[in-house]
Amino acid sequence: MDYNEIKEKMSKTISVYSENLAEIRAGRANPAILNKIKVDYYGVPTPISQVAGISVPEARLIVIQPWDASILKEIEKEILKSDIGINPNNDGKVIRLSFPELNEERRKEIVKDIKKIAEEAKVAVRAIRRDAIDGFRKQQKDSEITEDELKVAEEEVQRITDSKIDEIDTILANKEKEVMSV
């Protein structure tokens, strides 16, 4: 097992973590909250971004303009079924999603949620570390590497892990600041 593979796995974990954070509604209009919503378009579940133009004309407003007006009702229905907590406003041509101002209590709940997601990402990174170290220990047991090489490998894996955990903490701090200052 090489270090680049370990770094790549940890980076993918952080990438997924960042995507999950982007989908959290922080009081500011963010089109990423629509990423998981799919619309039935000619029998195929299709992401909204592939059947409509999505724009953010104001800080608290998302406008969805379907390229095919016949699916306007379908988009509205799917948004209502999703758990984003915003009622769509359909005027017959476009759908508007207005984001209400967040109160202090709701902000604290969101911060608690993002901390939980951050902890899950850290656990995933530590699992990758554990698997990597186990792999190196097996190599040492099978006499493929020496005990000194094992120690160096463990230290390198720990250094990589620490840097990735710091990266998660930085992303968390930025998102927390965004949520509390909206």
Contact in structure between 51 and 39 (CB atoms under 8 Å): yes
Q: What is the pLDDT of residue 25?
A: 64
Structure token pair of residue 89: 């406003």
* Domain co-membership, 53 together with 79: yes
Q: Which of 73, 98, 123 is the last residue of a domain?
A: 98
What is the domain extent for residue 51? Answer: 31-98
Helices 147-181/104-141 angle, 10° precision: 170
Q: What is the pLDDT of residue 91?
A: 86
* Domain co-membership, 127 together with 108: yes
* Domain co-membership, 59 together with 8: no
* Domain co-membership, 17 together with 82: no
Rounded CA Rg of the chain: 22
Q: What is the pLDDT of residue 164?
A: 94
* Domain co-membership, 136 together with 163: yes
* Domain co-membership, 152 together with 84: no
| Structural domains of the chain, count | 2
Chain centre to alpha carbon of residue 30 = 13
What CATH number should be reported for the domain holding residue 164? 1.10.132.20
* Domain co-membership, 62 together with 93: yes
Full pLDDT tens readout for the chain, 182 residues: 578 899 999 999 999 998 888 777 666 777 877 877 888 888 888 888 888 888 888 877 889 888 888 888 888 888 888 777 778 888 888 888 887 777 788 788 888 888 999 999 999 999 999 999 999 999 988 888 888 999 999 999 999 999 999 999 999 998 888 877 75
Chain centre to alpha carbon of residue 85 = 18
pTM for the model stands at 0.68
DSSP line for 105-126: HHHHHHHHHHHHHHHHHHHHHH
Q: Which of 57, 74, 98 is the last residue of a domain?
A: 98
* Domain co-membership, 168 together with 107: yes
